[in-house]
Amino acid sequence: MRGMTIIVKRITQLMTPSIFLLGVYVILHGHLTPGGGFAGGVLIAGAFVLMVLAFGLEETKSEIHKWHVSFSESLGIFLFWFLAVLGLIQGTYLFYNMLAKGVVAIPGRLFSAGIIPLCNLAIGIEVAAALYAIFLTLAVLKMVEKL
Amino acid sequence: MFIILVLLLVLMILGAIVALESRDLLSGIISLGIIGFALTVIFLLLQAPDLAIVQIVIETITLVILIAAVLKTTKTDTTDEIGLPKMTLWLIGLAFIVIFLISAYKSCQHLPEFGSPVLRMAQYYIDQGFAVTGASNLVAAVILDFRGYDTLGEATVLFTSVAGVIAVLRKVGRTRP
């Protein structure tokens, strides 16, 4: 897959950091504002997809992205299951919110609501890696070319 | 409000029909995008910003992935024609439309008023959600605290589906035809 013209490349250079940053913002503020892990993860995956589509495979070295993608996919789902089982380890139920919710952490601040931001973070990592992996497999790596 | 919703629904149905009937796969996928973006506007009108954000980003990225996948393949619809006469197909379609309309009419008579929750549980979430979880976004409180199992299942399903896609489309192990 080759890259596109200089106009597309320049616009992509300007836009990609903003999209990535918006994704991180949406994930981290998922328990305060509309959004959450799923939407933010899709935004981050969109930043990567835009970069690969504009610059092509060789320039972005997407071949080495495969290992990172599979690692962060597994890391995200592992983190989420770990947070869920953490309640069981402590002797309570699954998804027990063991961190401070309203006593130490004031509701409405960034560090509040216990494990909900951590769950959002795990979902964000997992969704971003999943969609980018599907994109790499389906569209770029020339596996569907000669069916 | 109601008129705008009906207009958007009609637009979505037209987009779906165009996506089904077009022989060019690229224009089919682009008209498929009408459905998702009209659904985003509907979610915004019904005051569900969480769903609207998720819907618009998912729609955009799936369209991009589908277009990038289609540009590498045949680009034309290769479905075979069913060996039935056209009149029979029309009759079967009409029969199904009548059946679904009757059952939808029967079941819609038992629905509660639009916007009033069916379960008493939902009222508890709205009243106590902030105090119990400390999350000021009620949707996050519901999907990650009260209904955590569902989100766990969703994330696992996504992981499994990605593993399936990679396993089906992998280069190693594919025999040459």
Over its length of 177 residues, how does chain B's per-residue pLDDT go in tens digits?
A: 888 889 999 999 999 998 888 888 888 888 888 998 999 999 999 888 888 998 999 898 888 888 877 776 666 666 666 677 778 888 999 999 999 999 999 988 887 777 676 677 777 888 877 777 777 788 888 888 888 888 888 889 989 998 888 888 766 655 655
* B139 Cβ under 8 Å from any chain A Cβ: yes
pLDDT of residue A143: 43
pLDDT of A17 > 90? The answer is yes
How many Cβ pairs closer than 8 A exist between chain A and B? 148
ipTM exceeding the 0.85 mark: no
Q: Do both B166 and B87 map to the same domain?
A: yes
Distance of CA A86 to the CA centre of its chain: 22
Q: Do both B8 and B62 map to the same domain?
A: yes
pLDDT of residue A8: 87
Judge: A32–B54 Cβ closer than 8 Å, yes or no.
no
Q: Do both B7 and B57 map to the same domain?
A: yes
Cβ contacts (< 8 Å) between B72 and chain A: which residues? 139, 142, 144-145
Q: Which residue, of B26, B54, B76, is where some domain finishes?
A: B76
Mutation site for B-interface testing, chosen from A80, A81, A82, A110 by largest number of B Cβ within 10 Å: A80
pLDDT of residue B95: 95
The domain segmentation of chain A, as residue ranges, is: 6-140
Whether residue B135 lies inside any domain: the answer is yes
* B150 Cβ under 8 Å from any chain A Cβ: no
Judge: B68–A31 Cβ closer than 8 Å, yes or no.
no
Q: Do both B89 and B70 map to the same domain?
A: no
Judge: A94–B133 Cβ closer than 8 Å, yes or no.
no
| A80 close to B153: Cβ distance less than 8 angstroms | no
pLDDT of A66 > 90? The answer is no
Whether residue B177 lies inside any domain: the answer is no
For A133, the closest chain B residue by CA position comes to B162
Whether residue B176 lies inside any domain: the answer is no
Q: Do both B147 and B71 map to the same domain?
A: no
Q: Which residue, of B43, B76, B109, is where some domain finishes?
A: B76
For A46, the closest chain B residue by CA position comes to B61
For B153, the closest chain A residue by CA position comes to A81
Whether residue B14 lies inside any domain: the answer is yes
Mutation site for A-interface testing, chosen from B149, B159, B170 by largest number of A Cβ within 10 Å: B159
Which among A42, A114, A127 has CB closest to B134? A114
pLDDT of A145 > 60? The answer is no
Q: Do both B57 and B87 map to the same domain?
A: no
3-state DSSP assignment of residue B24: strand
Q: Do both B44 and B116 map to the same domain?
A: no
Q: Percent of chain A, pLDDT > 90?
A: 12
Judge: B54–A39 Cβ closer than 8 Å, yes or no.
yes
Q: Do both B87 and B124 map to the same domain?
A: yes
pLDDT of residue B47: 85
* B94 Cβ under 8 Å from any chain A Cβ: no
Judge: A97–B61 Cβ closer than 8 Å, yes or no.
no
pTM for the whole thing? 0.81
User: What gap in Å lies between CA B126 and CA B129, rounded to an integer?
Assistant: 6
SS3 letters across B36-84: HHHHHHHHHHCCCHHHHHHHHHHHHHHHHHHHHHHCCCCCECCCCCCCC
pLDDT of residue B81: 67
- Cα-Cα end-to-end distance for chain A: 18
pLDDT of residue B75: 66
For B134, the closest chain A residue by CA position comes to A113
Instruction: Give the gap in angstroms from C-alpha A64 to the nearest C-alpha of chain B.
Output: 16
Whether residue B7 lies inside any domain: the answer is yes
DSSP string, A4-58: --HHHHHHHHHHHHHHHHHHHHHHHTTTTSS--HHHHHHHHHHHHHHHHHHHHHH
pLDDT of A41 > 70? The answer is yes
Report for A95-99, A130-134, B145-149: range of highest mean pLDDT? A130-134
Domain housing B56: 1-76
What is the count of structural domains for chain B? 2
